[in-house]
Amino acid sequence: MSQGIADRARTLREQINYHNYRYYVLDKPEIPDAEYDRLYRELEALEAAHPELITPDSPTQRVGGRPLEGFAPVTHRVPMLSIRTETDIEAAGALNFDARVRRELKLKENDPPVEYACELKFDGLAINLRYEHGVLTQAATRGDGETGEEVTQNVRTIRCIPLRLNAAKPAAVLEVRGEVYMSRPDFERYNEKQRTSGGTPLVNPRNGAAGSIRQLDPAIAAQRPLSFYAYGVGETAGWSMPATHSELLDAIRDLGLPVSSERAIVQGPQGLVHFHDDIGRRRDSLPFDIDGVVYKVNSLELQARLGFVTREPRWAVAHKFPPEEELTVVESIEVQVGRTGALTPVARLKPVFVGGVTVSNATLHNQDEIDRLDVREGDSVVVRRAGDVIPEVVAVVRERRPQPEPVRFQILQRYPTCPVCGSHVMRQPGEAAIRCSGGLYCPAQRKQALLHFASRRAMDIEGLGEKLVDQLVDQGIVRTPADLYKLGMAKVANLERMAEKSAANLLAGIEKSKHTTLARFVYALGIRNVGETTARDLARHFGSLDALMSADEETLMLVPDVGPVVAQSIAQFFSEPHNREVVEQLRAAGADWPETAPQRKQAGPLAGKTFVLTGTMPNMTRDQAKGRIEAAGGKVAGSVSKKTDYVVAGSEAGSKLAKAQELGIAVLDEEALLRLLEPESQGKLDF
């Protein structure tokens, strides 16, 4: 596996985590769902091909999102996991799910069909209600699945949620899970009232529900017409669990909690198809928004047998509906520059009503998608709200193309330089995206560049997080990383949520960060395709920043694991005058590091060996152990696979140790690792 693949996986994880936060926590997504799905699928494919890339904090291993500041965090005793989405929106989606279930249960062709509970997939906000001895004591959002936000006061304003359960002998603990939503009639009545009074209407029912629950003032939440449907349970104590999921919902309903009547118990795959088709036909007449249906194996015993895979239950799946489509005209094509520098083409449309909203813009994703569709300015196109949320162009009606034919749209011809900062744009081999090269300078990338620059693995500026960066950039105080070193007490202390002491701590962290290593500084610059390991290799190979900045692509490719794509990224970055100017400003501000003689990487005793670290060692941190392994030529992976040579296990080692034992992989303690690091070991130990 090349270093470029590892760096790509790391970049994808950072991007997806960022977009998860924007979507699930802030309700302010920056990219279309389709673009997010592309990033997620690419990461899934990389991790499937290279299991050693999987890390515990990978978006594929978790649901996504973090608690908002202002709400107390709540740790879910039983994680609120996501369920898999069946991508085939036709009948095959149901057939595929049933086939997977039967295969996992090892059922034969002549065995009886599996019984399923079918429900609606509501378009709202997932909530966990905790009842203790029958009284509502806590309500929390899903958050990242492990930790959510406490929103008890806001949930108490929802009249359909009982504050006390209808039970003579209530359970000691019963956590009920479901969806807070806003019905269409309530949504329309609320917006009409807002328009009449001069207030701000809600964008759509889902945002209305999510925004209401996240109001810091419960009085505002109480004004919003919210509803709730239960669909499952979390932690229970002193409660008899029924035998089936449908009986569980009946029991929840008998306790006084709302449960949708739009559900059914069906037999086998044809029952699933019938339910999906029936709800699809009646979808528009339902009083609330849904984006699909959910199938669950009805028997709780079979659910337990099926278990989970990558934090998703094998016994449930979400089956979406075909998105709504309409015909309109592309009036122009423009590009938007994202936080990572990607130029995303956007079709400006003649406004059209699709899926309940008026659409005037649609993503075209990238140049490959433009070429595939052959979409041109003036074309009549079919627009679809993908997932009923983000509009996209799915087809061109060639018969309606204007004459003479419009020219083909080429991003690099229309935009040879970035429309935001004027830097060169480039497309590297094998990459779909076209990117701006002005990372340290481009206003569109400013916040992302600053956050990366300050991150722990880069300049490690403690206390400089997203909220502070937003303020510094939005108020025009900081334009480039070099401006961080010009900050004074007066400006920092006047920022929101900053006092004199916290401002002093931040300034001390900024001052401390000046003294770093060349590898950290190179990584902090945010050069495309240059991760931590590549930055260390570059620092070791060249010894000085000046030597690195003056190297051409051919010279750069002499560095181990630096190929043509990475070499082009580095050379292009340093060829931009404004990037070099920011580097010089950083040096002038006092950023320094020890420079050394060039070191050509030699094969160490651990060359070609892959390690996984788990648990706590008595005398070394994981970072120290990782550094020593890599210095000896070895590689440190995040997960155990058949390609792993050694697992280094300290105290409190967890599932990685168990996996190593299962696969028969050699397990080392700290003492054995130290022996292995000795040059005469040649990467081998006698066990």
Catalytic residue list: 121
Q: Which residues contact 284 (CB under 8 A, 6 or more apart)?
A: none
Question: Which residues are CB-neighbours of 682 under 8 A, at least 6 positions away?
Answer: 605
Quick one: DSSP state of residue 114? P
Largest CA-CA distance found in the chain, in angstroms, rounded = 82
Using an 8 Å Cβ cutoff, are 118 and 264 in contact? yes
**Which string of DSSP letters, residue by residue, matches 385-423?**
EETTTEEEEEEE-GGG--SSPPPPP-HHHH-SB-TTT--
Residue 133 token pair: 């001895």
Give the integer Cα–Cα distance in Å for 658 and 73. 31
| CA angle, residues 48, 24, 90, in degrees to nearest 5 | 60
E-strand stretches of 167-277: 173-181, 227-237, 264-267
Q: Residue 7, Cα to own-chain centre: how many angstroms? A: 17
**How many degrees, rounded to 5, is the angle at CA 545 between CA 541 and CA 549?**
95
Query: Of 531, 601, 541, nearest to 566 (Cα)?
Result: 531
Query: Going by C-beta distance under 8 Å and a sequence separation of 6 or more, which residues neighbour residue 452?
Result: 458, 524, 526
Alpha helices in 79-183, H assignment, sequence order: 92-105, 152-155
What is the helix (H) or strand (E) element at residue 626, kind and residue range? Answer: helix 622-631
Name beta bridge partners: 122.
290
Give kind and range of the element (H or E) at residue 629.
helix 622-631
